[in-house]
Amino acid sequence: MIKKWTFLFAFSLLLSNTVTVLAQAEPEEIKVESDKFQDFFYESLFQKSIENYDKSLAALEQCAKLKPNDATVYFEMGKNYLASKDYKNAYSSFEHATQIDASNKWFWVGMYDVCYQTKDFNQAIIIVQKIIPFDPEYKEDLVSLYMATRQFDKALAGINELNEKTGKTDRREMYKMEILSEGKYQNTEIGNLIDQINKNPKEESNYIALIFLYSNSNEEAKATEISKKLEKEIPESVWAQVSLFKSYLEQNDGVNAVKAMNIVLASPKIDSKIKHRILNEFLLFTNSNPQFIPDLDNAIGYFKTDKEVNVAKEIGKFYHNKKQWENAIKYYDLSEKNSAEIDLETNLLWLQANTELKQFDQVNKKALAMIDTFPAEPQFYYYAGMAYNQLQQYKKAKEVLEMGLDYVVENKALEINFNIQLGEAFNGLGDQNKKELYFNKANQLIKEKK
């Protein structure tokens, strides 16, 4: 947002002008003229203070007749016109004041304020350039005006100048991100960052920004080169390791990738999203380089306190989708160990993975334990009953399946599975009528599902 400035009035200037006139004219004549001017001027200030702008302007017109070359009178007129939203006359009055005295910053600021309120940003740029010699802080306003008029090349130049002289600000960094989202300005910024690195090789942020730009342009070799330069100049920089990690993976250098990863994951400076991305990339790497799985297990330890993502569970699901059941179970177990609460989804996934491995005894024990924790969750009854069937404990299978079927609501797939398992249980018990009943129910539900 463009900076708003309040107007200041230096009435001492007016008084000094009056003293000068007194020294040059006849005492009686000057006293009368001076008294009239001051009376009208004070009246204008009073009327403006109570928002009677018309009366204030009328008094100022009298002042202008007495002193037609008094810039302060026109400045006050400008303020009255501006307050009453008469922007055309406000601008003319402030402009007249600058024509009489171009050395007063506030007369120019008055013109700028009119331009700002009327959103005439192109004219505002011209005015602000007049103000900057008096007050360099208005360079901030100039950058904002260039952004408002989409003169991004000039805005970028102004941002870089201010960053170098006064340090970075959140607003300017936000502007820069907007500019650099348009690729044609990136080469200009790359050149600027290289210059900044050469001038101040110990400023970490310039390396980071340059690595980011190279990476966005798919110039990974250049990004790696800058990362190595950053590591050399600032050995303790964790950001160098973020970029080098990716380079090591591309080179299939698992040993150095692990070192870089551990430095990044241990650092409080790095955002959790970046850490998750790095872990995910390493997970993909270990899928084809299983010798580094122990390092993956160690890396998970850095996420124990992560409340947003259950990392061990997500890795388990990764292996689950690849039908690598033993690996999936391993990470589901680790997830349960690291979590203070029992997670329903993790346990269901664990049961499915163990079922795929035909570990029915373990499935039965886990499912029965989960029924105690989630007594209204039908899937645990299903797994317990299915496992009993596989273990040929048909009576127990029948009992637990009948109990769980009551909790199945609007889930035809699960209802089908319950009926199939009940048919299996009654088949094992030698009750052919019940066997056919439940198999027929399952078939009917399959037809309805289609």
pLDDT tens, position by position, 371-415: 999 999 999 999 999 999 999 999 999 999 999 999 999 899 999
Q: Which stretch of DSSP H or E encloses residue 168?
A: none
Enter the CATH code of domain 359-450: 1.25.40.10
pLDDT of residue 168: 87
Where do the domains of the chain lie? 1-118, 237-309, 316-357, 359-450
pLDDT at 7 over 70: no
Report yes or no on whether pTM surpasses 0.75: no
Outline where 289-377 has alpha helix (H). Answer: 293-300, 311-321, 325-338, 344-356, 360-373
Give the C-alpha separation, 100 to 19, whole Å.
19
Identical topology for domains 1-118 and 359-450: yes
- Rg, the chain, Cα only: 39
Name the band, by pLDDT with cuts 50, 70 and 90, for residue 243. confident
pLDDT, averaged across the chain: 89
Nearest Cα to Cα of residue 265 among 228, 221, 297: 297
Nearest Cα to Cα of residue 293 among 267, 270, 264, 318: 318
For 144-197, how does the pLDDT look when each residue is reduced to its tens digit (9 = 90+)?
999 999 999 899 999 999 998 998 898 998 998 888 877 788 888 888 889 989
Give percent of the chain above pLDDT 70: 92
Give the C-alpha separation, 123 to 88, whole Å.
13
Give the rounded distance of the alpha carbon of 29 from its chain centre: 70
Give the C-alpha separation, 430 to 424, whole Å.
10
pLDDT of residue 2: 45
Name 96's Cβ contacts closer than 8 Å, sequence gap at least 6. 71, 74
Give the rounded distance of the alpha carbon of 425 from its chain centre: 56
pLDDT of residue 4: 38
Q: Which CATH superfamily is domain 1-118 in?
A: Tetratricopeptide repeat domain (1.25.40.10)
pLDDT at 120 over 60: yes
pLDDT of residue 9: 33
For 313-334, how does the pLDDT look when each residue is reduced to its tens digit (9 = 90+)?
999 999 999 999 999 999 999 9
